[in-house]
Amino acid sequence: MSRQSALTAAVATVLGATLGGVLLWRALRTQRKKLLAGQVEPAAVEEEQLEPVELEKEAVQLQPVQLTLAPPSAPPPALPPALPPLLPPVEQLLSVRPVVVSSEEEWEQLWPSLQKELSAYPVLGLDCEWVKTPGVSVKGRAGTVSLLQVASYSGLCALVRLPQFRAAKRPLPSSLLGVLRDAHVLKVGVGCYEDGKRLARDYGLALGCTVDLRYLALRQRQAVLNNGLSLKSLAADLLNIPLDKSLELRCSDWEADQLTLEQMTYAARDAQVSVAIFFHLLGLNSSPAADAKTVFSQLSSHCQGLVDVPFRGRSLGDGEVRGIEGERRRRSRKNTSDSSVSGDQQVPDPRKNRRKPLGVGYSARKSPLYDNCFLYAPDSQPLCTCDKKKAKWYLDKGIGELISEDPYIVRLKFEPSGRPDSQHDYYLTAKENLCVVCGKMETYIRKNIVPHEYRRHFPAEMKDHNSHDILLLCTACHAASNVHDGLLKQRLAEEHDAPLACEEGVRVLEDSDRRRARSAARALLTAGEGLPESRREELHDIVRNFFSEELQQQELTTEQLQRAADLETRIFNESYVPHGLKVVRAYAKRGLRGLMELERRWRQHFLSTMQPRHLHPLWSVHHNHAKFLRKYGEDLPIKIN
């Protein structure tokens, strides 16, 4: 090979190698750019460090781009979540002075502060107070709730005086109603589920998301419960905080015009201590939650299976729990006389009072409601179903003839006043004797879907031969339905100024002047000579003032004293208007359509609250409404009974 050919070959080899290197370098750089535009892996960084110096420089030049470029779809980097504030020490929590709330204005002033605290920790300590009589068994019916206490994590406590709202005929603030039924705000306390039942019974309030601290204490087992499960015992064992549960305070007048400082402190302590115990049992007594989940999710995760569960000490099924309760039973046998007034007033001690199942005490039917007998028109058109007693009445009167024994069919010998519009009518179908809610086939009773206190005032056109709104429910479902009905009644009372429990809704009143005169006269007749002179003269003045001013300067005779002692103290309330009548009158102002709306509202309320699974498919919230309008017209004169 000539020298020129060798030189040419060498140059070609060098150029080829150079071109190949350039192409390889460009390919590597393109691949690295793609990696830098996405997520940089540690391995890629190490690979860059092993490259020649030229490539390392190129990588260094691309580093700033790596920090600023991101694909359009990539979300912005998330900021660390803000942590809730630190929980205050128990002593600081208990030092916060409560706020008495007797009007909507006072609540609205407090609500922003309380709302802010609930946004940090959605937990409220809750308790109720009512007027109690010393020596009266706790198994008796408790008085109307007089005071509702709610406290936040910092100790901010509202003492809501519910009777003051009722006396002023003012509805409770909507924000208060909302937070009580809010499913994302825990209400904690001892017996708070039972307090919710009392609030529903007395005021129609819905209380949700309750957690009984006794269940939580038994589940967590963070401390030995030496003294039992009352709020006083839990506070002493877990927080080393003594609570004053003296009979004098517990049975004080919670409906007084002004609460004393001792009453306010006593009431607030129950709610504040409940919050402190809750966080202590969850181990959050000093540091905030740091989990990425929401605070409510963290708190509620510790309460799974305990939300809105009534406390039953005998149904826990745990040996250690039974041991604690058994030891308390053995210790308490020595002092059973004080058991009715010891501990907390909200709930009877589960060791001494087995909780009755829902519906116990109801009188169930002894015979089926539906006999499923049929009445036919003279041309054998089915008219309706009826019970066997009514079917035999037509036979006994000679105005019907028996067509079949099974099923029992009676054909009428006269033209009925009306015939069904369709053969798919509700009254033409046989019905089962079972609870329409749960399907239970025994211990059932009749349920008036539209309560009798409203239906009784309906015009006759809407009441005659109407069994559509009478259904069968088992005793437990019937009791649950009555609780839901109380809530709707309370809403109707607020909407139409028809209070359920006030002087206007009471037929007979107690005359205080007559009662004082009668008591004074009886005292004078039975122990007159044994009374001090000043007291005897005071009682004489009471009787004289009651009869007339003419007797004020005269000596009372035995006949006059006897007449005063026999006084009838109950008088008829002239302003008495039943709640149901006021509501029906309000709807009747819109005529027939108004009353149909009331009827529809109660029917829909039953469907929404009870969710019956065995209801007849032809049962309807609009039953007979089109028929009423067609038969009577919208201008039907409404005669309220």
Residue 226 pLDDT grade (very low, low, confident, very high; cuts 50, 70, 90): low
- Which of 312-321, 362-371, 475-484: highest mean pLDDT? 475-484
Q: Cβ distance 629 to 421 under 8 Å?
A: no
Res. 460: pLDDT tops 80: yes
Instruction: Please indicate whether residue 6 or residue 119 has the higher confidence score (pLDDT).
Output: 119
Res. 634: pLDDT tops 70: yes
Res. 62: pLDDT tops 80: no
- Which of 2-11, 240-249, 619-628: highest mean pLDDT? 619-628
| Nearest residue to 203 via CA among 486, 576, 492, 609 | 486
- 99 sits in which H/E element: strand 99-101
Mean pLDDT of the chain: 76
Residue type (1 letter), 564: A
Cis peptide before 407 (omega within 30 of 0): yes
DSSP one-letter code for 208: -
Q: Cβ distance 157 to 98 under 8 Å?
A: yes
Res. 70: pLDDT tops 50: no
Res. 44: pLDDT tops 80: no
Q: Residue 275: its pLDDT value, please? A: 93
Q: What is the mean pLDDT of residues 449-464?
A: 87
3-state SS assignment for residue 480: helix
- 10 sits in which H/E element: helix 3-37
Res. 156: pLDDT tops 50: yes
DSSP one-letter code for 338: G
Q: What is the mean pLDDT of residues 212-238?
A: 75
Res. 148: pLDDT tops 80: yes
Rounding to the nearest 10 degrees, give the CA dihedral for residues 351, 353, 359, 361.
Answer: 150
Domain 90-336 fold is Nucleotidyltransferase; domain 5 (3.30.420)
Q: Residue 639: its pLDDT value, please? A: 80
Question: Angle between the 591-610 and 625-632 helix axes, to the nearest 10 degrees?
Answer: 170
Name which of 167-171, 288-292, 497-501, 508-512 the model is least confident about: 288-292
Res. 505: pLDDT tops 70: no
Q: Residue 160: its pLDDT value, please? A: 94
Complete DSSP assignment for 230-257:
SHHHHIIIII-------HHHHTS-TTSS
Residue 507 pLDDT grade (very low, low, confident, very high; cuts 50, 70, 90): low
Above pLDDT 90, what percent of the chain? Answer: 22
Q: Residue 309: its pLDDT value, please? A: 84
What lies within 8 Å, CB to CB, of 545 at 6+ separation is 552
Domain map of the chain by residue range?
A: 3-68, 90-336, 373-501+578-632, 508-572
Q: Residue 65: its pLDDT value, please? A: 36
Instruction: Please indicate whether residue 595 or residue 544 has the higher confidence score (pLDDT).
Output: 595
Distance CA 423, CA 95 (A): 73
Q: What is the mean pLDDT of residues 251-277?
A: 90
Res. 563: pLDDT tops 70: yes
Residue 109 pLDDT grade (very low, low, confident, very high; cuts 50, 70, 90): very high
Res. 330: pLDDT tops 60: no
Q: What is the mean pLDDT of residues 393-417?
A: 91
Q: What is the mean pLDDT of residues 538-563?
A: 76
Residue 343 pLDDT grade (very low, low, confident, very high; cuts 50, 70, 90): very low
From its phi and psi, is residue 461 left (phi > 0), alpha (psi between -120 and 50) or beta?
A: alpha
Q: Residue 392: its pLDDT value, please? A: 92
Token pair listed for 141: 């019916």
Q: Residue 417: its pLDDT value, please? A: 83
- Please identify which residue in the block is written with the tokens 């604690």: 324
Residue type (1 letter), 169: K
| pTM of the full structure | 0.42
